[in-house]
């Protein structure tokens, strides 16, 4: 039987050392059946084969975003995108435009709001009530730990003052005791969002499909999803059944110190649930928070005296639970940002029997002694160089100010970890940062984000080369689970045709690089005309 799809005349970078380049490939039933010269590939085709001519295409394996929140991001990422909006006047202009779009009485939503846009002023809904117009409004801060509502939304929700919550949530109030509209943490945010229209399952699936299409359009064919549980698995199953899961998803199920033994037993019992495009035999632990707010776990306190505690109050409990999932055959990803948290996770992984198959997420502060341990212990480092966009070379940002000069030298050392021989996986943490891998490819090499004015590289770590960066988005991500992410005969037909080779064009050119064609499991998921 002939191939379904074939591409001729392209420059194909396979990321496979046995056959680094090819000029044609053919695909059947989601797999690569021929890869090499035009003559070799033509032998697999007949009149039924869809032929793509790629004379100025540069093909690479499909990109894998090694850390993101696909479904949660699709739900929260509605309405106004406040990414990089830096002042209140621009915020108001966006609100006015959105009110026009949704009409009077409709809900204005938004996400990725940067605290700095308030210009150092405490949020109060009076600042934006006029701009938000007639109707409710609620938007999320970029870290999703805070939301901001207008007066109308507070009225609809019946929020008139402070409340007590079982968790650390706070409805912020002004000097008169009235709510300002700033809602800190989940329960406070839910006090308002519980009164917003509830999306139907069909609506939610529509949002997921939209996000998946948008990710395919920038070259993403796989992701490692870092949150979720059985509900997420059900949604992935529904997407796949509807033929809409054009993305391979390795789901890391969420666990924290409050997860009870029955829930753990249940996750372990259902470890082998999987579809043809998704798996659920991975876990996500979180040992600390973030540096900017003083919740990262540090060897020495930060400049405000914070950073002294882990997220799991009982470290023995943390280690026991990690071990339980290790013994049950799960792949583990642990969020560890502060130098102490990173060291403690490495210490814990080191005690596990057998070959390591685990990873650490973020690794934002790690001295050279810790950097060297990743390769030795075969622990993968999952890093997001695009997060350098919130660090300033002059160290006036909250991240640098908290850590202080000395520790800033060791900021996000992806190049140093990679150079030590460890496996580095790259990603975005979307919706925290944009998922467009072209931005991450730039930041990984230049060590500053493409959307900042100051073009000095940050920290003392070396940058990654173009080829190392592409490996971080392809073969390295696949190798965590023992898979071969290169293009090879018999392998999955996941590939992208770019306007130039992202591994060897200058990073400045990668940011706008055309994505001509994205193929996932042999299906064309994106194509420009
Ligand atoms: Zn995350």
CATH number of 73-193: 3.10.310.70
Per-residue confidence (pLDDT) for residue 186, from 0 to 100: 84
**Distance, CA 284 to ligand 1 centroid (Å)?**
9
**Distance, CA 428 to ligand 1 centroid (Å)?**
8
pLDDT, greater one: 334 or 168: 334
**Distance, CA 183 to ligand 1 centroid (Å)?**
21
What are the CA-CA distances from residue 176 to residues 126, 172, 179, 191, 235 (Å)? Answer: 14, 11, 9, 20, 44
**Distance, CA 146 to ligand 1 centroid (Å)?**
16
**Tokens matching residue 409:** 């030298």
Beta bridge partners of 32: 27
How crowded is residue 184: how many other Cβ atoms within 10 Å of its Cβ? 17
**Distance, CA 429 to ligand 1 centroid (Å)?**
5
pLDDT digits (tens, 9 = 90+) for 365-389: 999 999 999 999 999 999 999 999 9
Q: How far, in Å, CA of 52 to CA of 221, rounded?
A: 19
**Distance, CA 442 to ligand 1 centroid (Å)?**
20
**Distance, CA 239 to ligand 1 centroid (Å)?**
22
Length of the chain: 529
**Distance, CA 514 to ligand 1 centroid (Å)?**
27
**Distance, CA 290 to ligand 1 centroid (Å)?**
11
pTM: 0.92
Under 8 Å between Cβ of 136 and 196: yes
pLDDT digits (tens, 9 = 90+) for 452-477: 888 999 988 999 999 999 999 999 99
**Distance, CA 430 to ligand 1 centroid (Å)?**
7
**Distance, CA 85 to ligand 1 centroid (Å)?**
22
3-state secondary structure 253-309: EECCCCCCHHHHHHHHHCCCCECCCEEEEEEEEECCCCCCCCCCCCCCCCCCCCCCC
DSSP designation for 472: H
The CATH architecture annotation of domain 1-55+487-529 reads: Roll (2.30)
Tell me the domain boundaries of the chain. Answer: 1-55+487-529, 73-193, 287-484
What are the CA-CA distances from residue 218 to residues 81, 115, 527 (Å)? Answer: 18, 28, 11
Among residues 273, 215, 279, 241, the alpha carbon closest in space to that of 440 is found at 215
pLDDT band at 120 (very low <50, low <70, confident <90, very high): confident
**Distance, CA 432 to ligand 1 centroid (Å)?**
7
Given a cut of 80, whether residue 168 has pLDDT beyond it is no
158 burial via Cβ count (<10 Å: 0-12, 13-18, 19+): exposed
| Fold classified for 287-484 | TIM Barrel (3.20.20)
Residues with CB under 5 Å of ion ligand 1 are: 226, 429
pLDDT digits (tens, 9 = 90+) for 73-87: 998 888 999 998 999
**Distance, CA 218 to ligand 1 centroid (Å)?**
20
Among residues 11, 54, 34, the alpha carbon closest in space to that of 517 is found at 54
Instruction: Give the rounded percent of residues in the chain with a pLDDT score beyond 90.
Output: 85
**Distance, CA 29 to ligand 1 centroid (Å)?**
33
**Distance, CA 296 to ligand 1 centroid (Å)?**
14
**Distance, CA 362 to ligand 1 centroid (Å)?**
9
Under 8 Å CB-to-CB from 293, ≥6 apart: which residues? 145, 398
């Amino acid at each position: 039987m002939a191939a379904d799809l074939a591409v001729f005349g392209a420059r194909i970078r396979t990321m496979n050392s046995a056959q680094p380049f090819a000029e044609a490939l053919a695909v059947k039933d989601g797999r690569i059946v021929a890869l090499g010269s035009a003559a070799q590939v033509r032998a697999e085709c007949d009149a039924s084969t869809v032929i793509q001519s790629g004379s100025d295409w540069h093909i690479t394996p499909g990109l894998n975003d090694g850390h993101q929140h696909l479904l949660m991001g699709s739900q929260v990422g509605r309405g106004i995108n406040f990414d990089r909006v830096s002042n209140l006047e621009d915020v108001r202009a966006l609100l006015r435009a959105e009110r026009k779009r949704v009409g009077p009485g409709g809900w204005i939503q938004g996400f990725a709001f940067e605290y700095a846009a308030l210009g150092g002023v405490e949020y109060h809904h009076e600042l934006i009530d006029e701009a938000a117009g007639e109707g409710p409004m609620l938007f999320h801060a970029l870290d999703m730990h805070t939301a901001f509502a207008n007066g109308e939304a507070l009225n609809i929700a019946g929020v008139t003052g402070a409340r007590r919550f079982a968790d650390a949530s706070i409805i912020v109030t002004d000097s008169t005791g009235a709510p300002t509209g700033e809602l800190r943490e989940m329960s406070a945010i839910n006090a308002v969002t519980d009164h917003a229209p509830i999306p139907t399952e069909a609506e939610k699936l529509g949002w997921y499909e939209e996000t998946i299409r948008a990710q395919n359009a920038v070259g993403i064919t796989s992701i490692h999803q870092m949150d979720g549980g059985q509900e997420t698995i059900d949604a992935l199953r529904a997407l796949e059944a509807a033929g809409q899961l054009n993305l391979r998803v390795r789901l890391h199920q969420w666990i924290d110190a409050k997860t009870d033994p029955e829930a753990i037993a249940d996750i372990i019992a259902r470890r082998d649930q999987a579809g043809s495009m998704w798996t659920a035999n991975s876990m996500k632990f979180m040992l600390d928070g973030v540096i900017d707010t003083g919740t990262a776990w540090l060897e020495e306190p930060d400049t405000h005296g914070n950073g002294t505690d882990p997220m799991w109050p009982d470290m023995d409990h943390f280690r026991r639970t990690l071990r339980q999932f290790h013994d049950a055959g799960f792949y583990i990803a642990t969020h560890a940002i502060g130098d102490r948290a990173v060291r403690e996770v490495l210490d814990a992984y080191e005690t596990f029997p057998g070959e390591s198959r685990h990873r650490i997420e973020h690794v934002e502060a790690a001295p050279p002694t810790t950097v060297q341990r990743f390769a030795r212990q075969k622990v993968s480092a999952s890093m997001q160089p695009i997060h350098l966009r919130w660090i300033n070379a002059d160290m006036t940002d909250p991240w640098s100010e908290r850590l202080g000069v000395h520790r800033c030298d060791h900021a996000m050392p992806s190049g140093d970890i990679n150079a030590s021989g460890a496996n580095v996986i790259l990603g975005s943490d979307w919706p925290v940062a944009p998922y467009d891998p072209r931005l991450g490819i730039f930041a990984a090499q230049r060590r500053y984000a493409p959307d900042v004015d100051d073009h000095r590289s940050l920290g003392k770590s070396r940058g990654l080369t173009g080829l190392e960066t592409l490996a971080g988005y392809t073969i390295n991500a696949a190798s965590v689970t023992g898979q071969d992410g290169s293009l090879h005969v018999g392998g999955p037909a996941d590939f992208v045709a770019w306007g130039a080779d992202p591994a060897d064009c200058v990073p400045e050119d990668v940011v706008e690089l055309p994505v001509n064609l994205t193929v996932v499991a042999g299906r064309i998921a994106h194509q420009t005309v």
